[in-house]
Amino acid sequence: MKIVTIVGARPQFIKAATVSRIIRANPAVHEILLHTGQHYDENMSEIFFRELGIPLPDYNLEVGSGSHAVQTGLMLKGIEEVLLKEKPDCTLVYGDTNSTLAGALAASKLHIPVAHVEAGLRSFNRAMPEEINRIVTDRISDLLFAPTRTAVINLSQEGLADITCFTGDVMYDSVVYYKERILQNPAKYKTAGIPEKYLLATIHRAENTDNPGNLKNIFLAFSSLNQEIVLPVHPRTRKILQTSPDLPGNVHIIDPVGYLQMLKLTMDATRVLTDSGGLQKEAYFLRKQCITLRSETEWIETLHDHWNIIAGSDPGKIEAAVAGDLPTAPIQEGFGNGKSAGIILEKLLLF
Ligand code: UD1
Ligand code: UDP
């Protein structure tokens, strides 16, 4: 079976690392890796290939940054050329980025079956570009790998139950697998030059970065927290912060870090504040309370017992969440058993 895996953005490298490791261990499968080039900085792309042992991409389209239409259009053109040349039995796409949409669209128009990992996530907020990408990708895919029962229900409500399979979450597989490696040599993955006790924050969603009011409110809340905050800054956010003169003194901005360093930063943090989808889950898996800097979450399983608090960009809600007690309730199982990638491979082989 020949599979073309299509990735392009940071969280997709992390997800594909886990699935590709399992896929490539099976001699019945030949995987071709296509990188769209959506993310291209060394610390947004290459670092993950290197540290997670992902084979180098067979193709890199190098589309780079651009408006949604320009970026997606360039990807469509490049992906079509590769698919026509490689003639795979199926394509594998991940998550909800423009690379996901372009991969699914190019393949489905060529009648090449599409399998979607992390299908069925819904924020029910169509102002998010990711929501459009998810809805379209799920609708045109042939096999939907749902990470949670909520995702299964969402897909069923859209009439897609027949092609849906609950797999669990490959990001849970990743945390289970790599946490062990970190625990064997914690000093290796520790970030130098940051405070001993800190809150870990990330911000990159369009709703926060492209809305000066929201970003200002988040930093207003940060400045009033009276705690040190470590912020590995996404390049999108860095560009905006470059023109912002007054960053609060308690915010320590660092460059984006590799995945293992990021897991370690999460393990050592008091709490996590983020608008990231992936980091909300990692915080939960690592038993760290998450304060979500968005007005909703797709990962509603994380909300029980205040493990995840939706605060948006409201300073009052952010401050109240950080002032509250840390949760102690057990984490619920809802993301599979850490072997989702194996289930994905099994289903692909039957596809
Ligand atoms: C994209 C995804 C988002 C995902 C995120 C993961 C879409 C619509 N959005 O958002 O769902 O959560 O990736 O991180 O696909 N930039 C650089 N260097 C890079 C990459 C980006 O400088 O290597 C800068 C550019 O100015 C670019 C901006 O970041 O315009 C945004 O990048 P883009 O890939 O369009 O979207 P993300 O915000 O990264
Ligand atoms: N991440 C990382 N280095 C960083 C910031 C995040 O490795 O400096 C990881 C994080 O641990 C998670 C993934 O990137 O696994 C989340 O990606 P991101 O927040 O960019 O996208 P989202 O999940 O919101 O789509």
237: domain CATH number?
3.40.50.2000
Which structural domain, as residue segments, surrounds residue 84? 2-169+336-349
Mean confidence (pLDDT) of the chain: 97
| Mean per-residue pLDDT, 61-88 | 98
Whether residue 19 is found in the same domain as residue 118 = yes
Q: How far apart are CA 69 and CA 208, in angstroms?
A: 21
Average pLDDT over residues 130-159: 98
Please tell me the predicted confidence (pLDDT) of residue 174.
98
For position 242, what pLDDT does the model report?
A: 87
Region at 294 (left for phi over 0; alpha for psi -120 to 50; beta for the rest)? beta
Using DSSP, how many helices (H) and how many strands (E) does the chain show? 15, 13
Task: Please check whether residue 59 lies inside any domain of the structure.
Answer: yes
The answer to whether residue 245 is domain-embedded is: yes
The pLDDT, as a whole number, for residue 61 is 98
Which ligand lies nearest the alpha carbon of 8? Answer: 1
The pLDDT tens digits for 319-330 are 999 999 999 999
State yes or no: pLDDT of 265 exceeds 70: yes
Residue 118 has pLDDT above 80, yes or no: yes
Query: Do residues 195 and 153 share a domain?
Result: no
**Cα 263 to ligand 2 centroid, rounded to whole Å:** 10
Same domain, 159 and 112: yes
Q: Cβ–Cβ contacts within 10 Å for residue 94, how many? A: 28
The residue nearest atom 20 of ligand 1, judged by CA position, is 39
**Confidence band (pLDDT; 50, 70, 90) for 315?**
very high
For ligand 2, atom 23, the nearest C-alpha belongs to 278
Name the domain count of the chain: 2
With respect to residue 331, please indicate whether it lies within any of the assigned structural domains: no
Paired tokens of 172: 């849970």
Gap from CA of 225 to ligand 2 centroid (Å): 23
- Residue environment code for 173-195, b if the CB has 16+ CB neighbours within 10 A, otherwise e: bbbbebbeebeeeeeebebeebe
pTM for the structure as a whole? 0.98
User: Is residue 152 located within the same domain as residue 264?
Assistant: no
Residue at 330 is within a domain: no
Question: 192 and 59 share a domain?
Answer: no
> Does a structural domain hold residue 174?
no
Q: What is the pLDDT of residue 245?
A: 66
Ligand 2 atom with least separation from CA of 96: 25
Q: Are residues 157 and 206 located together in one domain of the fold? A: no
Q: Evaluate whether residue 328 is within a structural domain.
A: no
Q: Please report whether residue 269 resides in a domain.
A: yes
Same domain, 15 and 141: yes
Asked whether residue 251 is assigned to any structural domain, the reply reads yes
- Considering the domain architecture, whether residues 309 and 244 belong to the same structural domain is answered as yes
Both structure tokens of 262: 């990021």
Q: Are residues 123 and 151 in the same domain?
A: yes
